Amino acid sequence: MDAAQTVLVTGGTGYLASWVIAGLLERGHRVRTTVRDTAKARVVRAAVAEQVGDAASGIEFFVADLLSADGWAQAVAGADGVIHTASPLGTAAGADPIRPAREGVRHVLNAAADAGVRRVVVTSSGVAAIIDGQTTPNDETQWAPVTGRPTDAYRDSKILAERDAWAIADDRGLDLTTVLPTFIQGPMLGAPSAHGSTGIIEALLSGSMPAVPKIGWDIVDVRDLARLHLEALFSAAVVGERILGAGGFAWWIDVARYLREGLPTEIARRVPSRTMPDLMVRAAAKFNPQLALLAPSLGRTALVDGSKAEGLLGWRSRPTAETVTDTAAALLAKASRPADAA
């Protein structure tokens, strides 16, 4: 794809989508995005403008919902490529992430194929390639199993939706790349409350956690992940490829240490420095649904091999400590802004 292309980015209100939109605008591309409500257009423009200024005024908006076929044909008509980032988190009580994730992929990819748009990048998740308990680094050749357990609904949604994407691409002749991010952190564009991914940093900064569970994740910076999506969209080298977007593994206690070392003393002193015993976490998990989701991961190191992205695209994520402290700085800066400036 050449310069000044028209790219549809689905789910414009998303944490990742806002950075993808900003990156496309910075490169001189024309950007359109989808929202479920026209009132969200102002929110998206304001968020993206934090990075690109007046260029955000050029974003074109379309109303579309993952669960409906309506609006997708109009959104994709005349586009040169699609980056499908929209996907439900399914973190709310009783929420089902599987149906909207799968139907969203079907609606978007079929609309692209119908419109003659061949180049599509779909955001999957690293959980679709990470095998629980594996001691060697996980890579793109692996598919995590679908378990059907309620606690695995989010992971299952990602696996099933990505499998659907590959099936549709094969059937409809699309040039597909899937990007599989690990745990996304980094500064947010727009209101922090819209992006649950940064909740762990908010909790560590709040002083409400006396100790942290022995849980760790591979962390990738949202700014670098957005760049990976752009590199994937414009590179023929990754057509037909799954690409892990990985940074580096860190235990939560490491994340806490990065915060204590990188923030002013009056804030750093609120960040816990102790690890919570596993027995205490498991006991509390009987009464706390969030801890119940985390308990199976206690003590597990899920290593990820991100060398494919570096080898094919020359891409790497920045150091984890930088990502963590930049996330915290953004959260603190936004929290200190007057309500009418948010």
Q: What are the residue numbers of the active site?
A: 158
Identify the sign of the CA torsion 259, 325, 299, 289.
positive
Q: Across the chain, where does the E strand assignment appear?
A: 6-10, 30-35, 60-63, 81-84, 119-123, 175-181, 183-185, 216-221, 242-245, 248-251
The neighbouring-strand residues paired with 249 are: 218
The CA distance from 246 to 131, in Å, is: 15
List CB contacts of 105: < 8 A, sequence separation 6 or more. 84, 122, 161, 162, 164, 165, 168
Q: How many residues does the chain have?
A: 342
Q: How far is CA 110 from CA 76, 98, 196, in A?
A: 10, 18, 29
The CA distance from 260 to 103, in Å, is: 43
**137: which DSSP letter?**
P
Could you give the count of Cα atoms lying within 13 Å of 12 in the half-sphere of its Cβ?
A: 31
The answer to whether residues 219 and 248 touch, using CB atoms and an 8 Å cutoff, is yes
Q: 135 exposed, middle or buried (CB, 10 Å; 0-12, 13-18, 19+)?
A: exposed
Packing angle between helix 320-335 and helix 252-262, nearest 10 degrees?
A: 60
The CA distance from 28 to 30, in Å, is: 7
The CA distance from 182 to 246, in Å, is: 6
